[in-house]
Structure 1
Amino acid sequence: MADIERFGRFGKMRPKLTWINLFDIISAALVITFITVSELGYFPQVVIRGFYCDDRSIQRPYSGDSVTTCMIILSGFVPFFLIWLTEILFYFPTMTETSKVDAPSSRYKGSLYQTFYWFRKYGRGLIIKLLIIDAAKIFAGEHRPHFIDTCRPDVVCEGKEFISSYTCTNTDDSLYFIRDASKSFPSGHSSVSVFETVFMIWYLHRRVPKLPSILALPLIQLVIALWGIFCPLSRIMDNRHHWWDVLAGSLVGLVAAGITCFIDCRNFNKARPTTRHSAYRDHDIKLISNNTPYKEDTNLNSIVNCS
């Protein structure tokens, strides 16, 4: 009983608040605060770029967003439900839970723990990626394609003259929107959508067992891939980003997702489960005995080790 109280139901020692945990909490709070302040436009621009009067790439009209900021924020939580659905459908209990195989609560709780495990790693990679993107936007200070239409600089621009000093005279739009007109590089929407797409496609490829249908999984992955294609292209069509902004943002999202999946998630286990009995391996069966600490696999579901 003492061991159970110490290590919990799943045999994992309950974490204690230490100075290392406190450092992680403070670091996460600072990063999230920086991202929030930067996204709201309150962080001062490090580089104030000028512009050429004949630069047609920044003289396009603003036509709105096909993918709004609210949509891209909500899309960040969609993987949680997709992962949860996947874990519920293909959840197999460990040998230490065989007495509760048929209990709905066992499937619900086990799959939920597993979902939180993967989503935590997904969220960590997403936040680090956002930190890189927001820092790049502040230091790059590149004008969006609709910069002139949004800023309405107080200068008479003629010929090929370079304007280095100007003031935006637009009073119809918010200050946030005007400042955002100089944060084109790289594309945040593109990086987020590509990160989500690569992560989910990789996750499904590694975590879903062999199915009777050979087209089911590829079709699902194709639908997810459409999001990673449509969102970046919409940023160009809406005159919100230049093509190189979208390319750079997509590359950041691709690299960040690859590092998160392959290193942090350890490639979502070394192999996919093919049968129910593949969950029962000798190294997955751990017992509490002789006061030996019980250490559960880090993925909370020993279908296949994540180590």
Structure 2
Amino acid sequence: MHTFKRGFFCSDLSLRYPYRECTVTVPMLLVLMLLLPMLFISVVEIMRNCRHLRMRKYLRSLWRAEATFSFGFIATYLTTELGKHVLSRLRPHFYSACQPRLQDGSSCADAHNAELYVERFYCSNRNLSSLQLRELHVSFPSAHSSLSFYSMCLLAYYVHSVWQGRGIVRVMRHILQFLLLMAAWYVSLSRIADYWHHWSDVLAGALLGVVYATITAIYVGDLLQPQSSKTRPLMGLMCGCQHHHHHLHHQLLGENNNSTGSAKVHFLASTTTASSPLECVAHHGNDDDADDDDDDDSIVEHDLAGYKTPTSRAPTPSLPNAV
């Protein structure tokens, strides 16, 4: 893609910062924000399947997690590069690195060019390569900031999804999430301290990374809904149990009309419907999500098998003067 060549004001002091080497270079960024997160996901997936480790199941879950991370990472990178080439904002060390000259050979140090907006210029620093010249025009947004915040935020969402627990486990999870965000914060601040980006470049990159991480976690990886998917089968099980016992209640009441022992049957029906939903959920609430439908059917079959249609009973002789 051809980079748009933006002009500048000779009096713009935000472009006159000194040139410094990067604290976090591009290879370091790829290792910290791409290779290490993918290795971290691989190790976590092994720990999740360590009890019943099956290679096919592990590879399937690993592929799903790695593909989710890679999709968002590539989308964030492409969006960042598009913004860099379209806007072509100059870096804070533009003057020091480029040493621009106007077409007539004058420079911004001349008095008559103090308030001039320069569009046609060339860099007098012959020590710069074509790649370094291109890097002077791609300040907004910060790729270091967007990629680091995307990787660390998505890992924080991933840890929140797979690492469930209470007490000290929950505290350790939050500490790990905090450290991940601090790593992204450090990389972003280093770009301002090294005079490679303006603060607005870093802010835009950070927001871009957070937005893409959130979108990827919600719509691609389903990382922000770990508990709702677990509670839905439980609610369905409760509704199924209540509906089943409600049906038994009406069945018992219908049979009571043909029998003389209505008081006893009414008592049995009321106790069954009052306590059965909680007992049903307590007994079957810890099953896996994949077996919820089978468990729901087995509950109905078990209760129907255990229930016997009351046979005709001998009429109970009424006691005289019964209260």
Q: TM-score over 0.5 for the alignment?
A: yes
Structure in which a larger fraction of residues adopt helix: 2
Match of 2:244 in 1: none
Q: How does 1:68-147 map to 2 (within 5 A)?
A: 68-74=25-31, 75-91=33-49, 101=52, 106=54, 110-147=57-94
Distance 1:278 1:148, change over 3 A: farther
Confirm whether residue 172 of structure 1 aligns to residue 172 of structure 2: no
Q: 3-state SS of the aligned residue for 1:267? A: coil
Q: How does 1:1-307 map to 2 (within 5 A)?
A: 43-45=1-3, 47-74=4-31, 75-91=33-49, 101=52, 106=54, 110-155=57-102, 156-157=107-108, 158-210=113-165, 213=168, 214-267=170-223, 269-271=225-227, 279=288, 281-283=290-292
Q: Which amino acid aligns with 2:160?
A: H
Root mean square deviation, CA, Å: 2.3
Report Cα offsets for 1:194-229 as digits up to 9, x if no partner: 001110001101111215524211111121111111
Q: Percent identity between the aligned chains?
A: 28
Q: Is the 1:190–1:231 contact (alpha carbons within 8 Å) kept by the matching residues of 2?
A: yes
Q: Which amino acid aligns with 1:202?
A: Y
Tell me which of the two structures has the higher relative contact order, counting C-alpha pairs closer than 8 angstroms and 6 or more residues apart: 1
TM-score of the pair, normalised by structure 2: 0.66
In structure 1, the gaps of 5 or more residues are: 1-42, 94-100, 286-307
Mean Cα deviation higher: 113-122 or 130-139: 113-122
Report Cα offsets for 1:137-160 as digits up to 9, x if no partner: 111010000111111112311322
Q: Is the 2:101–2:121 contact (alpha carbons within 8 Å) kept by the matching residues of 1?
A: yes
Q: Which amino acid aligns with 2:101?
A: D
TM-score of the pair, normalised by structure 1: 0.69
- Within 1, Cα distance between the matches of 2:48 and 2:200? 41
> Which one has a bigger Cα radius of gyration?
2
* Offset, 1:268: 5.4
* Offset, 1:269: 4.9
- Within 2, Cα distance between the matches of 1:193 and 1:88? 25
